[in-house]
Structure 1
Amino acid sequence: MPERSRWIDPAPLEVARPRLPWWTHSPRWALVLVAPLIAVGLAVWLTVVVARKAARYPLAFAVVLVLVVAWHGWGWPVALILGAILALVLVGWWWRFRPSFVRLVLVEIRSEWRRLIVYTPVWLRTMRFCHLERTVNGKVHVPTFIRVRADGWRDRVTVKLLHGQTPGEFETRAEALAHSFDARTCRVRVVGPRRIVLDLIHGDPLTQPVPPPSLPDGTDDTTPTKDLERVPVGTTETGRPWLLRLFGSHLLAVGATGAGKASVVWSLLWSLAPMLRSGLIRVYGIDPKGGMELGKAPELFHRLVFDNGLAAVKLLEELATEVKQRAASFRGSKRRWSVDCGVPFLLLVVDELADVVAYQTDRKLKERANSALQTITSQGRAPGVCVIGEIQDPRKEILSFRHLFPTRIALRLDEPGQVDMVLGDGVRERGAVAHEISETTPGVAWVKYTDRREPVRARAFHITDGDLDRLVDYVTADATDSATVHELPARTVDADPDADDVVGEAA
């Protein structure tokens, strides 16, 4: 037998071929020719960078430019004196006009500081750890952040997405991004094609109650239709007014016990006080709890029912009949309600809506209530009728027609799944965590508008019993001396004399 060879072929060495820079392969004469072009390119790039910084921070750029010109023109003593004067001006600005100083100076300094210290050093590593990068031919591509805006309680990081990347990838990794940048939560907002904003939340500006504004003196001229489309009821977390639309919409406020659903109603009535006083708005109410909630200010209501029985059903059917009669009177002349229609705007407030449409033990009354409410919510927007419903359980088994409420408000909820029931699928990934609202902040809510992708976080006005007393005194006072009273003539429409009976039977 031949002797076996002891030689074993070595395994092939698999290493990446080193890539040298392009200029190491070029001849010297080519580098000499290209050097001026490179210098011009660097100069243009530096000019663009300086111009962008000057456009982003115009005040700081102007100060630096003045100091540099003074240094070169008159020497460093003059520049030092001028710098001291500018420092005194900044101190006086901060002392006398602090809001504008914070907005124009302090916010810019804080934003640049957090961009350089917090985000730039760990951005690449965070994108790779969160699997938000793309690798092509061995080269790693990551989304780039364009700018950082630090508002104190949050950082707004504008990000440019990679080709083929979607905002949903950031939404699914929002929790990881929040922990990576030492934030409490992270929300994703879409601001344009391949542009998103990461709202990294560090604090809560809605921890303190929001006091209501002072009531007007009653002499202000109002534009009812416009006012009913933008009714202030509180403050958003960005400091802007929280506006709700009544005309052409219906509202559904969902929240657990003690979440502050009533604060939304009282805030609306507070802002509508001049119109209530002049007669432009007529409010109806149903309080199945015996008047424990709406009974605090019964003088604000044109008609108020304190149960969920026959009286409540009759009120709903009367309003459903009113909706149909108004639609008939507008036929051929108007497309929607306005102040010159001769009829007031009707606002129906139903506290504990489930007691009326689901928990009613009388089957016939429950069916009539559901039929009347569905008529009002489906046909009442154009004729000038708005429904505000308050409910604790948003399930379809309880409220089968919740889709007829275009504006939905989620206050503190008990379960995460209820958030999607109220505001729609996917809102939790976009930051609407209504189930995490603290019990110590009643009135804090998330609201979803039909024309916006992202939900809005806000807090309603804190209306005390004393405020309700002042509101009642304001609305019930004689308005002929201080307010414009609109006389509403009777409608001259030949309605079907059996219309009331037809609605009752159909229900």
Structure 2
Amino acid sequence: MLVPGKAKWLAALVFLAWLVVIGVVRLVLVVGRYPLFVWVPVVTAWCSLSFGVSTLVLVVLSLVAALVLWFGLYPVSFRRHCWLRVLTEWRRATVYVPRWRSVMRLAELSKRDGRREYRPRLGRVRSEGWRDRVRVRMVPAQSPEVWELRREGLAHAFGARSCRVRVVRPRVVELDFVHSDPLARPVSVPAFPDVVDLKRVTVGVTETGKPWRLRLLGSQVLVVGVPGAGKGSVLWSLVWQLAPSVRDGLVRLVGIDPKGGMELGQCPDAFDRVAYDNGADAVALLEEIATEVKDRATRYRGVRRLWARSTGEPFTVLVVDELADLIAYQPDRQLRERAQRAIQTITSQGRAPGYAVVGLVQDPRKEVVSFRHLFTTRVALRLDEPGQVDMVLGDGVRQRGAAAHEIGEDTPGVAWTKQDGQREPERARAFHVTDDDLDTLRRYVRPAEVRAFPTSPEGVAA
């Protein structure tokens, strides 16, 4: 047995060893999380003591020159591997770590069980310049809805313009603290593409700077937004990108504009046929397209399962502006029911034989568009209510960051978009097509002479 004096010394040594282990672990964590903030001062002090101040100044000037050269030659690489890494460490060390405990307590996101406090754990922080992505492990029995309710308070607490909450996996959420909007400025239309890829039609840019692409081949597109949200931007951006194939007869556009041509009448030359009302002519055109779908599907039976450019038949895009005027607000019941049957036939059966529907509507309610599920690609521009976001993009999208109801009135064309099979929605902005651009489009697609559809089409990718 140990005498009392030796037992005290042994306990003190064990406690001291435990403190040393904790200190080493914390030091390793600090070095791992803030390598630049740790190693730069250490290396600077070592160079100053070992080689003198003059050598240190020379090294610093050489390093600055190398960074400037790196930025000048490879700005993208510099931003990704240097600037954003420094910014990430800086914001974690000066913004999130110092304020985390107090903000969690004041926002009532931490919980107490007797003397023990359960506090959400701050995880990885990654800055992208315009936003910070902060990963958080929630306390037990906490739901993402609790964080949704406190988004505005969290944004103000950490000096951001807004905050989005996205579920990563059970018990883990990611907070997007947005400092600026990369989509605040209109995006000019690019030059007409050399090759049209019907699976990846570029209609704008995403907030991460990548092209925003819509799939037409094998898909149906529903665009929803309140008046002034920018549905025309999405529509004309799509037509603009299809223009080379439209001009060559490889893609056929058919349009219905119940507003009397206020939208599609701006460039009717791009369309093979257009109906400017929601009456008998428009319904007859829909039924004609539905019949074409069935006839073409009959011809493809036993030959192919999906349209391809080698068929020698044009890919047809049916554009319906203000879809609700045809299928919901039409006062004539018979016309309304005929229009609904024709639209549902085209959207449900047109994918394989090479028919795509681009429907634009203001109200996404089930009573208005009862067959939303037939549209595999959905675009939510500015909406009035949070519940409408789930109506358009699917249940749970707001938990993954989609906030179409928060899009500002001064950014028409900004939207959240999602395709079937795609887990995360994307935020993007369509090209801004001006009246001058429409004049250019009209001159571009107007045929110089009547062209027959080529037997060996080139220039459109299936």
* TM-score, normalisation: structure 1: 0.79
1:266 to partner: Cα distance? 0.7
1:469 correspondence with 2:446: no
Secondary structure of 1:158's match? strand
Match of 2:126 in 1: 149
Q: Over the residues paired in the alignment, what is the CA RMSD in angstroms?
A: 3.2
1:326 correspondence with 2:326: no
- Aligned counterpart for 1:354 among listed residues 324, 329, 338: 324
Structure 1: runs of 5+ lacking an equivalent: 1-23, 489-507
Deviations 1:88-142 (A, max 9, x none): 3334545665554443333333322222222112211222333333445622122
Residue range with higher mean Cα deviation, 357-366 or 43-52: 43-52
Match of 2:365 in 1: 395
Deviations 1:266-295 (A, max 9, x none): 111112223223333211111122222111
Question: CA separation in 2, counterparts of 1:306 and 1:364?
Answer: 19
1:302 to partner: Cα distance? 1.6
Query: Contact (CA 8 Å) 2:33, 2:89: kept in 1 or not?
Result: no
1:386 to partner: Cα distance? 0.8
1:157 to partner: Cα distance? 0.9
1:298 to partner: Cα distance? 1.4
1:194 to partner: Cα distance? 4.3
- Aligned counterpart for 2:85 among listed residues 108, 111, 135: 108
1:258 aligned partner, one-letter code: G
Distance change in 2, residues 1:41/1:423 (3 Å): closer
Deviations 1:372-426 (A, max 9, x none): 0011111212222111111122222222222222222222234444334323445
1:436 to partner: Cα distance? 3.6
Secondary structure of 1:81's match? helix
Question: CA separation in 2, counterparts of 1:26 and 1:380?
Answer: 84
Question: CA separation in 2, counterparts of 1:175 and 1:26?
Answer: 55
Question: CA separation in 2, counterparts of 1:487 and 1:363?
Answer: 44
Distance change in 2, residues 1:78/1:44 (3 Å): same
Alignment of structure 1 residues 291-330 onto 2, 5 Å: 291-330=261-300
Alignment of structure 1 residues 356-505 onto 2, 5 Å: 356-428=326-398, 430-476=400-446, 487=456
1:25 to partner: Cα distance? 12
2:8 aligned partner, one-letter code: P
- Aligned counterpart for 2:215 among listed residues 245, 255, 261: 245
Distance change in 2, residues 1:443/1:33 (3 Å): closer
Match of 2:156 in 1: 179
1:351 to partner: Cα distance? 0.9
Question: CA separation in 1, counterparts of 2:437 and 2:104?
Answer: 51
- Aligned counterpart for 1:50 among listed residues 31, 35, 47: 31
1:338 correspondence with 2:315: no
1:324 aligned partner, one-letter code: K
Alignment of structure 1 residues 269-308 onto 2, 5 Å: 269-308=239-278
Deviations 1:168-210 (A, max 9, x none): 4323432332233233321122334544320012222222111
Question: CA separation in 2, counterparts of 1:45 and 1:439?
Answer: 48
Distance change in 2, residues 1:319/1:111 (3 Å): same
2:358 aligned partner, one-letter code: I
Residue range with higher mean Cα deviation, 177-186 or 24-33: 24-33
Question: CA separation in 1, counterparts of 2:243 and 2:46?
Answer: 59
1:485 to partner: Cα distance? 5.5
1:119 aligned partner, one-letter code: Y
Alignment of structure 1 residues 222-241 onto 2, 5 Å: 222=195, 227-241=197-211
Query: Contact (CA 8 Å) 2:167, 2:400: kept in 1 or not?
Result: no
Query: Contact (CA 8 Å) 2:312, 2:455: kept in 1 or not?
Result: no
Distance change in 2, residues 1:375/1:175 (3 Å): same
1:65 to partner: Cα distance? 7.7
1:29 correspondence with 2:10: yes
1:29 aligned partner, one-letter code: L
Size of the aligned set, in residue pairs, is 451
2:421 aligned partner, one-letter code: D
Question: CA separation in 2, counterparts of 1:148 and 1:43?
Answer: 23
Distance change in 2, residues 1:47/1:475 (3 Å): same
1:213 correspondence with 2:190: yes
1:444 aligned partner, one-letter code: V
1:131 aligned partner, one-letter code: E
Distance change in 2, residues 1:415/1:172 (3 Å): closer
Deviations 1:152-180 (A, max 9, x none): 33221122334554434323432332233
Distance change in 2, residues 1:76/1:152 (3 Å): same
Larger of the two Rg values belongs to structure: 1
* TM-score, normalisation: structure 2: 0.86
Distance change in 2, residues 1:324/1:285 (3 Å): same
Secondary structure of 1:381's match? coil
Residue range with higher mean Cα deviation, 118-127 or 406-415: 406-415
Query: Contact (CA 8 Å) 1:232, 1:271: kept in 2 or not?
Result: yes
Query: Contact (CA 8 Å) 2:219, 2:377: kept in 1 or not?
Result: yes
Query: Contact (CA 8 Å) 1:280, 1:486: kept in 2 or not?
Result: no
2:183 aligned partner, one-letter code: L
Distance change in 2, residues 1:130/1:48 (3 Å): closer
1:233 to partner: Cα distance? 0.8
Distance change in 2, residues 1:116/1:255 (3 Å): same
Structure 2: runs of 5+ lacking an equivalent: 458-462
Match of 2:177 in 1: 200
2:9 aligned partner, one-letter code: R
Secondary structure of 2:59's match? helix
Match of 1:121 in 2: 98
1:81 correspondence with 2:81: no
